[in-house]
Structures are given as C-alpha cells and as structure tokens.
Chain A
Amino acid sequence: MSEYYLLRHRSVPNIDQLDVYLADGGFEAYKKAVKTMQPVDVYNEVKSSGLRGRGGAGFPTGMKWYFLPNTVWPHYVTANADESEPGTFKDREIMESNPFQFLEGLMLASYAVQANLSYVYLRGEFWELGKFLDQKIAELEKAGLLGDNVLGTSYALHLHTHLGAGAYICGEESALLESLEGNLGQPRLRPPFPAVVGLYSKPTVINNVETLTNVPLIVRNGAGWYRQFGTEKSPGLKIFCLSGRVNNPGNYELPLGTTFRQLIYDYGGGIIDGKKIKAIMSAGASSVIVPADDKALDCPMEYESTQQLLGAPLGSASVIVLDETVNVGWLVGKTTHFFKHESCGKCTPCREGTFWMEHIARRIVSGSGTQADIDLLKDVARQIQGKCLCPLGEFSVMAVLSGIDKFRVDFEALVNK
C-alpha cells in the first residue's frame, strides 16, 4: 500500500504530535460532527459504511451504537485496548504512533451516543502507553477539544485511561466492564447486553481500538469513500498481524479480501529458511488450525470467506504461521497452557476443562502420554464446547479439536517416542 490510513504514521511522520495531526486534517471529522451534525447523522454514516468490529466479532459498529436506549442516561463509551490475543499487536502500534486518530474515533463515538464520560481500558502491561495517552488527552483538553464545552458548544466530554492488571479475559466486553467497576474480570450473563445495561448499569458502547480508528476516516470522507476498500460485506481496511515462522512478522494494513498467500509471501517475505508452510491460524491462539493448502492460501481474508471456505473465523486477523518444523501437539501444549492460565474460573466446564486439557497435553508433549491420551484430550475438549458463558471456553478447544483432527500424526509422534 502506498498510503496508510490506519497506520497513518507510516505515511505522515510525527503524526503523534497534535500540530502535525491537525495540519493533516486531524479532528476535522470531530469538528464537523460536533458543530454541524446531529448524533443520529454520525451513527448513520458509520452504519452506511458497513464498518464491522475489528476486535474479533465483526459486529456492525453503527448497529452497536444504535442499540443504546435514549430513555436511560448517562451513556458511556469504553475503548477496548486490552489487546491480549496471542499473535495480536495492532492496537498497540496505533496507540503508540497514531494516537490522535484513535482518540478522535473514541470522541466521535462518544458524540454519536451523547456520552459525556468515556474510558480507554488498556491492559496493565501497556503501562507506558497509558501514561503516553494521558499526555495526549491533556493536550486535547488544553486545545478545547475535550472538556465541559467542547469547541465552545454545550457538549461536554471527558476521557480517562484505566489500566487492567494482567487478565486476557478482560478483553471480553462484559468482563472488561466488571474490571473497570473494580471487580474481578469475570463475564456477565447476557442479556441484558452492555448497550442496555453496561458500565455502572448504564447503556454503554464498547469498541476495539482499531474499529474506532476507522471512524474519523468515515465521518470525514463519507461512507461511499470508505466502501471503495474491501468487499461488499466486509468493507474497509484492516490491520493484519503476521507472526510465527515468517521472515517479516509485523502489522500490515491491507484491504479486507487480501489472500493469505499475498499476506504471507508478498508482504511477509515467506517462510524462514525457505521451509515449507504447514498450517495457518487466522485468529491467534483462539483459531482452528487450517492446513496451508492452495485452498487456504488463496482464501480472501474477510469475515465471510474464511468462515465459509475454511471454517475459521477471521477474528482480529492475527495470522500465526506454522512451518514444517512445528509439531502441532507441541503447539496445542502451548494453547492449552494459555487458556488454562487465562480462564477466569466462573464456568466449571472452562475452569476444570482447561486445567485437564493442559494436564493431558503436557503429558503428551513430555513423551509420557499414550494413544488413549489423544482421545481423552479430544473428549475433554468436546465437553467444554457450548457450555460456557463467554467465548473463552469455546476458543480454548479450537486448536485442540482441529489439531487432533487434521494433524493427529503429530500427536502420535510424541506418544510413540
């Protein structure tokens, strides 16, 4: 791509400085919205753009805002900056290097639902980034873009950062709200959804950082302009996080619909040491393991195609690449350890199931497992499926079931040592 829209710092140096951002058209969308647009016009524009949530679920963003009832006040907006899925590191780059475009998106979302108080929930590890954003927010207050009278109007908006403290589950939106309220980060039973009963029991929008970073582009240039990128059902640009056994891991801003082959070979420089590619995980550690045949490599990366052609959700587009040197049994040892560590403990199938999956996987990887352990691992995974409040339990079995299904020989090689 010659021009970057989300990773704008790669096109415009020093865009993290307010004067540079303003000179490059920054906050024009926000000024236009606050001064000339009704809140309903802002979310209609976003709805028409077809923007879908970039945190993993792909839910239409405009719809999410539309669900807030206008009979209950105040409304809140929370940016989900808890980026914790193994293989995901895009929100971090946006916030580190293009912070104002993200904050402008959060401010536009706040205006659209008429929230006067909004939060950025960052994972605790993003400690330095939290301090950095605090400075940027202070600059916006000084410039009159935040405060009791935004741009001299009667609209009031205040932003604050809030740091988590190391819990993957807080990326799940209802757990995030629990954490922000000072509780354990455990998901809530839904319905009611956060749009109706959210932060402090009030209507709340929770959007991913990358999602919000798209919003100023849409409001400034219009939904029609935005739809020139991507496909009809998955319009727009997306940041793909490429990691694993590739030569050039990193973030790649590309239109939705780009194929895995293009990402891995044209942009990512191919496989380390010219080895043979073995499999792809399209949505971080939560994804199914897809054998990297031609069908998979030529599959367009957008919300519908990956699901329909490969049975794998695109999720947050965290593409982890496995080459022939990676044993899938070993990999499952890693993912089960992760989910056991991150299970919040609320639902028994997930709490106990991830414990046992890790235990059995470890036995297999250590070489003391048997053939029966492979089936036992699969059996435990099946008992977690569909039985938990939030997607974590569901995510924890994806690599296990698809791994045993497609690469059983790798597990057998470990138990027959």
Chain B
Amino acid sequence: MNAILQKYPEEVRQILAKYPDAYRKSAVMPLLYLAQREQNYLTRQSIADVAEITGLSMTDVEAVVGFYTLFHEKPGGRYRLQVCTDLPCAMRGAEEFLEKLCQNIGIKVGETTPDGLFTVEEVTCLAGCHRAPMMQLQAEGNITYHENLTVESTMALVEGLRKKAQEESR
C-alpha cells in the first residue's frame, strides 16, 4: 500500500485535481513536498510512492529530487536554517551573521547539531535583499521567512524551537 496515499488521501486528491487528467506528472513536486513533510527529507520508499502516484519511473522522480534544492535526499536537522549570503545580503553583513550564528549554535555550515534538531545551510537569493540578514526556516512541512535578523534574535528563535522540541519528546 502506498504510504503517501494512505496518510494524505485528501491532499493527494487536491493536488491531482490541479492538473489536467492526462498530465499527472505535473503533480510530482507538490507530492514530493507532501512526502517530505514528516521527516524533512525523502526516503527511497517515499520516492517510490510518488513515482507510483504520478506514473513516473523512480529514476525520473529521483532526477527531480536531485535538481531542486528544497528536496533533500539525506536526513538533516528537524529545523533547517537556510541563511542567504548572496551578493545583496552579503553587502549588509550576512556573512558575518552566518559565521557568528554558527559559532553560537556550535556547528559549521552544512552540519547538524548532535541532538538532530538544527542544520545550518548557506543558500542563494531568497528575494529578501532589503531585509538582510535574513533566512528561511524549512521544517515540519513549512518554509517560513525570518528577516532583519540579529544573532541575538535568531538565537532566541533557536532556543524557542529547542524548548518546544524538548517538551514534545517528554
């Protein structure tokens, strides 16, 4: 049984309804987001499930996963902090911000904290150049923007998320 269909029957139906019947494969990206919702990365089984729903081969789905940066093939933190250090942000202190943020969290860019909660990533332009430093938080099936940041405000966010996760695991 297809786990995505089983878990999210209504969402799958709504996604497929957006596209003409003959073009189910247009649903591949929305379905991959759905498959990624719980663990923040895609397992081989979930890729197989998406392939089955769309009628694509696993290879085709894996190609899509590999091409786009918001799909993850390897497990990372429950919270992915994706900081923009592209040109306009870098001219407004994004590189120093990222460096200090990493020091405070205690990991390097690309690494995950030992408790498995946070991964810090460096990304290209997010269309928030006028509110740098800024980042997006990819977690729990959502992507949210956080702008006009300081290391202090970001650490407050990080600590809040950590507390929330600890309370949940109790």
Question: Which A residues form the contact surface with B (CB < 8 A)?
Answer: 83-89, 91-92, 117, 123-128, 160, 162-168, 179-185, 200, 241-245, 249-251, 285, 320, 322, 326, 331, 334-335, 337-338, 341-342, 344
Contacts and interface: CB of A to CB of B under 8 A. Distances in A.
B129 interface: yes
A284 to B, nearest CB: 8
Interface of B: 18, 20, 22-23, 25-30, 32-33, 54, 56, 63-64, 67-71, 86-88, 90-92, 123-130, 136, 142-145
Contacts of A182: 23, 25-29, 54, 56, 64
Contacts of A335: 87
A180 B26 CA distance: 6
A320 B87 contact: yes
Contacts of A250: 130
Contacts of A127: 142-144
A91 B87 CA distance: 19
Given A180-B26, A182-B29, A86 B69 contact: no
15 contacts: A83-B127, A84-B127, A89-B129, A117-B20, A124-B143, A125-B143, A162-B26, A163-B29, A181-B25, A182-B26, A182-B54, A326-B91, A338-B87, A338-B124, A342-B124
B87 A184 contact: no
A344 B128 CA distance: 23
Nearest to A330: B90
B124 A341 contact: yes
B129 A243 contact: yes
A291 to B, nearest CB: 17
Contacts of A342: 124
A395 to B, nearest CB: 13
A241 B56 CA distance: 40
A317 B124 CA distance: 19
Nearest to B129: A243
10 nearest A-B residue pairs (beta carbon): A166-B69, A165-B68, A182-B25, A127-B143, A249-B130, A243-B88, A243-B129, A86-B125, A166-B70, A182-B28
Nearest to B142: A127
B67 A184 contact: yes
A200 B124 CA distance: 30
B118 to A, nearest CB: 19
Given A87-B125, A320-B91, A338-B86, 7 more contacts: A124-B70, A166-B68, A182-B27, A184-B64, A185-B67, A243-B129, A285-B87
A342 B67 CA distance: 10
A181 B92 CA distance: 38
Contacts of B71: 165-166
Count chain A CB atoms within 10 A of each CB in B30, B69, B88, B123 and give the residue with the most.
Answer: B88
B142 to A, nearest CB: 6
A168 B124 contact: yes
A77 to B, nearest CB: 15
B70 A165 contact: yes
A245 B91 contact: yes
A183 to B, nearest CB: 7
A192 B168 CA distance: 55
B169 to A, nearest CB: 26
Contacts of A337: 124
Contacts of A126: 127
A186 B66 CA distance: 13
Contacts of A160: 18
A389 B143 CA distance: 32
Contacts of A249: 88, 92, 129-130
B29 A179 contact: yes
Given A181-B25, A182-B26, A242 B130 contact: yes
B87 A87 contact: yes
Contacts of A320: 87-88, 91, 129
